[in-house]
């Protein structure tokens, strides 16, 4: 931490700050400039109480951290890209991974039809929500365990690993018994007890960005997974809430290169929640691939207009097959397979 002292303070007031720094377990290092005195406080912030309390002292002008607050997810800690394995699929390698499937699991017929079709078109992982975080309590809440069983059946028939959302700590073991990847949704991105429970299952965790979450907060939420001994973390940008009404959310593609600088964890883009519009999915996928995303998470439904959730943003099976063809030159141009 760097502590800047106010101008014209007395020697006694300066000593009070130095004593406070030592009391909190740090070693003060004084740097006297022409106009200001600056104190560097050296010590392990994880073991000691935070120095931020010093900003309450009248003789202190500012307290600024030098180290980043995210550690285990940071590139500094792990300079090479990490990759995450789900079944026989590796996310974060040379191959651009596409995860596709319906927003919600509605029936066995719907999931099996989608799974077979997305696999034929080139998807490697099947998505589908069995527990749905709906804004209104009167909307379809998901089939629950029955939905998990349908997903497991689709995996058995197609060989595709499955990703599904974990909504509650209580269901962590149950959902992990069926899923290859646990999705933590945008509404739960800072539900730290849920993150810990997800981490402890040992399954890979896909952490969506919260609706109004800063990247630093997102990295710190991801830190909870690694700090609980689960190295298998994927960050998923799915759009943030802004003032615009043309789209459901504003997909922040700039988050891709920022995450690539800040973290070694793979980056996933969800263009479906990202725009809330099926007609924008193709363009957003192309942009995401060009900007270095490792994987895409795309909603696909055999009959989007009849979908029980997120009808406007789901691609039809034909639309998904077209998208996969259209993406090929972008995948190649990005140096991926
Ligand atoms: C979803 O993937 O269907 C979903 C609910 O995602 P999010 O948490 O990003 O809204
Ligand atoms: Mn959805």
Residue-wise pLDDT for 279-303, tens only, equals 999 999 999 999 999 999 999 999 9
State which residues of the chain have pLDDT below 70: none
Enumerate the domain spans of the chain: 2-64, 84-333
* Ligand 1 close to Cβ of residue 104 (< 6 A): no
* Ligand 1 in reach of 103 Cβ (< 6 A): yes
Q: What is the pLDDT of residue 284?
A: 98
pLDDT in tens, 172-205: 999 999 999 999 999 999 999 999 999 999 999 9
H or E stretch at 206: strand 205-208
In degrees to the nearest 10, what's the CA dihedral of 249, 250, 256, 258?
Answer: -120
Residues, CB-to-ion distance under 5 Å, ligand 2: 103, 310
Smallest CA-to-CA distance from 273 within 199, 151, 183 is with 183
Question: What's the rounded Cα separation, in Å, for the pair 282 and 320?
Answer: 9
2-64 with 84-333: one CATH topology? Answer: no
At the topology level, CATH places domain 2-64 in Alpha-Beta Plaits (3.30.70)
Distance (Å) from CA 299 to ligand 2 centroid = 7
**CB of 127 sitting under 6 A from ligand 1:** no
Ligand 1: does its nearest atom lie under 6 Å from the Cβ of 307?
no
Give how far Cα 20 sits from Cα of 52, 266, 289, Å: 11, 41, 50
The pair of structure tokens assigned to 244 is 């615009």
* Token output for 247: 């789209």
Is any ligand 1 atom within 6 A of the Cβ of residue 133?
yes
Q: What CATH fold (topology level) applies to the domain 84-333? A: TIM Barrel (3.20.20)
Q: How far apart are CA 66 and CA 236, in angstroms?
A: 27
101 CA from centroid of ligand 2 (Å): 10
């Amino acid at each position: 931490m760097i502590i800047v002292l106010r101008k014209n303070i007395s020697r006694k007031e300066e000593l009070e700050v130095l004593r406070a720094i030592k009391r909190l377990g740090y070693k003060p290092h004084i740097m006297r400039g022409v106009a200001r005195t600056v104190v560097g406080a050296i010590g392990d912030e994880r073991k000691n109480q935070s120095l931020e309390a010093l900003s309450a002292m009248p003789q202190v002008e500012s307290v600024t951290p030098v180290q980043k607050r995210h550690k285990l997810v940071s590139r500094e800690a792990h300079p090479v890209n990490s990759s995450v394995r789900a079944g026989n699929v590796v996310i974060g390698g040379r191959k651009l991974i596409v995860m596709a499937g319906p927003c919600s699991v509605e029936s066995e017929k719907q999931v099996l039809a989608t799974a077979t079709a997305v696999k034929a078109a080139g998807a490697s992982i099947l998505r589908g929500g069995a527990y749905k975080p709906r804004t209104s309590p009167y909307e379809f809440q998901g089939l629950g365990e029955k939905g998990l069983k349908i997903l497991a059946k689709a995996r058995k028939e197609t060989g595709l690993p499955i990703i599904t959302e974990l909504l509650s700590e209580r269901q962590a073991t149950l959902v992990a018994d069926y899923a290859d990847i646990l999705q933590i949704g945008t509404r739960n991105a800072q539900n730290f007890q849920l993150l810990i429970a997800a981490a402890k299952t040992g399954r890979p965790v896909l952490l969506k960005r919260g609706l109004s979450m800063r990247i630093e907060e997102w990295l710190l939420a991801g830190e909870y997974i690694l700090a609980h001994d689960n190295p298998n973390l994927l960050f998923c940008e799915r759009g943030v809430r802004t003032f615009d009404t043309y789209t459901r959310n504003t997909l922040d593609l700039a988050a891709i290169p920022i995450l690539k600088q800040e973290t070694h964890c793979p980056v996933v883009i969800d263009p479906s929640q990202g725009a809330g519009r099926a007609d924008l999915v193709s363009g957003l996928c192309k942009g995401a691939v060009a900007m270095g995303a490792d994987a895409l998470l795309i909603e696909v439904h055999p009959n989007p207009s009849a979908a029980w959730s997120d009808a406007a943003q789901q691609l039809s099976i034909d639309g998904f097959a077209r998208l996969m063809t259209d993406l090929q030159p972008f995948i190649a141009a990005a140096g991926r397979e």
